[in-house]
Amino acid sequence: MYLADFHLHSNFSDGKFSIPALVDYYGKRGFGAIAITDHFCEQTSLIGRASTYLGVTLTTATFPIYRELLKSEQERAWDQYGMCLIPGVEITKNSILNHRSAHFLVLGNLENIDPNLDISELSDRVRPEGALVIAAHPVSTQKIEKQTFHLWDRREELAPKVDAWEVASGPYLFDEVRYSGLPMIANSDFHSEKNMTSWKTLLSCEKKQEAVLQAIKKQQLDFQFYREETVREPSYSTLPWIMGPQLGHYGMGNVASLQAISK
């Protein structure tokens, strides 16, 4: 079994680390598979265009450079750490309204990405080419930040187009997703070290892109809480009232397996 995390941001969007630094950070911690998924904002909205101006999103100019760097780092991740690096992107549709905002990940094949397409259109385009589509933080993240509820509002209609829904994004498990019967995945939404203490996905398949994507699709996975000991406690520890009941209950010791808890 090995740890995996499929939602990481680099400094191609709003993350703190470069792509090589992310590979080293996760490689040194023994992760078996990661996906780097920088924001690619749709350009049809004012907020999306503003994000381009602020340099916190991939653009049509930087996207090809991003893809090339991921390719070369894919080889290095394997050679140096035996870690599978999956190319990804977070299609980012922000509105001032939480119920109109949607973030989703495309993992595995970035050949035909257009951030202006909606999830249904893009799913029809990329999934036949072997990519997966993941609904990112679809319910309340229990943090004081922008929320994205549009996909969850449409979950029945979108279920056939989405391979997995995040059941955790950082330190909180989302009970709505957990008990929904929908396929799940746990990720950190890593932007900097403070996001490392988080639920992660556990896999036991071969550390090859195709095997990893299949395991997600077939839901041959488990979840584990990972605590990063080398950095200061994340800021939620000073805000106990927004922690929610789950972490306090499950967070015994360094790791807690969801499988162990639910059986």
Q: Which two tokens stand for residue 103?
A: 């973030």
| Total of residues contacting Zn ion (CB under 5 A) | 4
CB of 260 to Zn ion, least distance (A): 28
Residue 42 or 189 having the CB closest to Zn ion? 189
Binding mask of the shown chain, residues 175 to 194, with x at each position contacting Zn ion by CB under 5 A:
--------------x-----
CB of 190 to Zn ion, least distance (A): 8
DSSP 19-70: HHHHHHHHHHTT-SEEEEEEEEE-SSSHHHHHHHHHT-S--TTTHHHHHHHH
Q: Say whether residue 166 binds Zn ion (CB under 5 A).
A: no
In Å, the largest CA–CA distance within the chain is 49
CB of 79 to Zn ion, least distance (A): 27
132-135 vs 102-107, strand pairing mode = antiparallel
Measured between alpha carbons, how far is 185 from 202 in angstroms, rounded to an integer? 9
- Site stretch for Zn ion (CB under 5 A), options 58-66, 136-144, 192-200, 243-251: 136-144
Residue 5 or 73 having the CB closest to Zn ion? 5
CB of 56 to Zn ion, least distance (A): 11
Residue 134 or 212 having the CB closest to Zn ion? 134
Residue 8 or 205 having the CB closest to Zn ion? 8
Q: Is 248 exposed, middle or buried (0-12, 13-18, 19+ CB in 10 A)?
A: exposed
Binding mask of the shown chain, residues 87 to 106, with x at each position contacting Zn ion by CB under 5 A:
---x------------x---
Residue 131 or 256 having the CB closest to Zn ion? 131
Contacts of 106 (CB under 8 A, 6+ apart): 88, 89, 91, 113, 122, 126, 131, 132, 133, 134
Q: Where are the alpha helices (DSSP H) in 88-241?
A: 119-126, 150-153, 155-158, 175-178, 209-217
Q: Which two tokens stand for residue 100?
A: 């109109």
Measured between alpha carbons, how far is 135 from 55 in angstroms, rounded to an integer? 24
Residue 136 or 184 having the CB closest to Zn ion? 136
- Site stretch for Zn ion (CB under 5 A), options 15-23, 44-52, 68-76, 85-93: 85-93
CB of 222 to Zn ion, least distance (A): 22
CB of 59 to Zn ion, least distance (A): 17
Selected binder of Zn ion within 8, 134, 136, 151 (CB under 5 A): 136
Binding site residues, Zn ion, CB under 5 A: 90, 103, 136, 189
